Structure 1
Amino acid sequence: MTDLTVASWNIRAGLGRDFRRRPSRTIGAIVDFDADVVLLQEADFRIPPRHAALPRMQGRIGPFEVIDLTPSAVGLGWHGIAMLKRPGTEVGAIHLHDLPALEPRGVVIVDLTVRGVAVRIVGVHLGLLRGNRRKQISFIVARLAELDHRPTVIAGDYNEWRDQRGFEAVPDWLCIHSPGPTFPAGRPFLNLDRLVYSRDLELLSSGVIAGPNAIMASDHRPIIGQFRHLSPRDAVRAAGSE
């Protein structure tokens, strides 16, 4: 049984590969996501007051409800990171942090209850420099260590194309997974978008979404992952089998 499905997409503020900004096209792709939680990067424009790149109707984008992360009413998220949820998903604590970097970056940490399962979803869009990315991962892990533990998924645009470098600060209680190449969207060969998840979750399946809207509406393709919550005994067995 799938307990949690998470999708993530850098939407480039709705600017497509044809260099046309068509929010309806972006929303059309999001509508097709069969997910409990959708994380978006570059969901707001960069210039203050950072207006939202996608319109919302009565607090929704397509079938998904927008979790309020913005300090103002004009944007969708925090440092351009937005989080959408399936109706019925309960929202608990929300933590918003600035990340250490030469450029403005942030992290979103939200506690949710999805079909009775308590989970923690973290949205990231890391920096362009590997040194900054290492510091940002260390910062995020430190903030998570300050909270009570619950099954955790850290999803987003990691801006890291290598599998063996840049993730040195990820602790052993987290697994790193790339569903496949996502950038550039037309002919992707770089694995920039990833799912990092705690070992009390089992990754059942994952993939890169390649619908016609998804591959045209941004320079990244979306990713999706399905997870099952493991019992403590099963989590220990899974760790021992590695």
Structure 2
Amino acid sequence: MSGAVHRPHGSHKPHGPTGRIRVATYNIHKSIGTDGVCDPMRIISVLREMDADIVALQEADRRFGSRASTLPLVALDDTPWRPLDLGRRPRSIGWHGNALLVRRGLEARAVHALDVPTLEPRGAVSADIVTHGGALRVAGMHCDLSGFRRRAQFRAVLDHTEAQRPNLPTVLMGDFNQWGVASGAMRAFGNGWQVLTPGPTFPGRRPVAQLDRIVITRNLHCVASGVHHSGLASIASDHLPVWADIELPN
């Protein structure tokens, strides 16, 4: 478990040496905490605690109606991050609730909302981010709860990444809804991938399940990773966020 690393609001400096970047994934449960209260500002406070450069969010939009973002856009305007243009509705920031927040000053290219095989409303998102250490592809996803299509969903995201500059360093992250660390659908990741499983993330108050994961290509080096388990994070959502500090190849 890890505490937060803070840096001044609006700073664009990377964590540690040049070439190192912090990524994170967070199922924000539509901004509804374990106390049943919808409080998006708590989610933003947890994001500030982690201070990641790139964040994959799940359940960022409401599921019905206009699919509006549960994080007010005006509130995001006052943060170090901007949501990438993934919403297919005017008030949405994501695709089936999946969103990507990127630190201001980092350029995003090849932004995609992906369709994946599903029995439920699911999807994935990806973008190529130009960081201080080079280009990095990031994909966020929220996988099938039942497990029947989870491996096919992983395969769809992997096929997408392999079709787009296949040698580009890549980070896949999200709520995998997978209990086993290396079993079941996780077998979709072969020798070219490193699976990071920092610890239990669900439920937020007393986590027992390692549902939230980060997977990186072998040409990336994980310096450190952890579950962000602050007092605020334990009530802001029913999941705890996961982070990783990674170094890009020279």
TM-score with structure 2 length normalisation? Answer: 0.88
C-alpha contact (below 8 Å) 1:7/1:222 kept by paired residues? yes
Write the mapping of 1:85-164 to structure 2, written as runs, cut at 5 A.
85-148=102-165, 149-164=167-182
Amino acid at match of 1:65: R
Select which of 62, 83, 94 maps to 1:45: 62
* RMSD between superposed Cα atoms in Å: 1.4
Higher mean displacement: 163-172 or 47-56: 163-172
1:179 equivalent to 2:174? Answer: no
User: Once the two structures are aligned, what percentage of the paired residues are identical?
Assistant: 37
C-alpha contact (below 8 Å) 1:3/1:117 kept by paired residues? no
Structure 1 gaps of 5+ residues are 232-242
Distance 1:59 1:164 in 2: 36
TM-score with structure 1 length normalisation? Answer: 0.91
Q: How many angstroms does 1:230 deviate by?
A: 2.7
Residue 76 of structure 1 is matched in structure 2 by 93
Structure 2 gaps of 5+ residues are 1-16
Amino acid at match of 2:188: A
Q: How many angstroms does 1:130 deviate by?
A: 2.0
Q: How many angstroms does 1:33 deviate by?
A: 2.0
C-alpha contact (below 8 Å) 2:124/2:139 kept by paired residues? yes
Write the mapping of 1:203-218 to structure 2, written as runs, cut at 5 A.
203-218=222-237
* Structure 1 residues 180-224: Cα deviation after superposition (integer angstroms, max 9, x where no partner): 100011111110000100000000000111122211011000110
Name the SS for the 1:212 alignment partner.
coil
Name the SS for the 2:69 alignment partner.
coil
Name the SS for the 1:168 alignment partner.
helix
Distance 1:61 1:112 in 2: 21
Distance 1:43 1:183 in 2: 17
* Structure 1 residues 106-139: Cα deviation after superposition (integer angstroms, max 9, x where no partner): 1111001111410000001101122210110111
Residue 229 of structure 1 is matched in structure 2 by 248
Name the SS for the 2:149 alignment partner.
helix
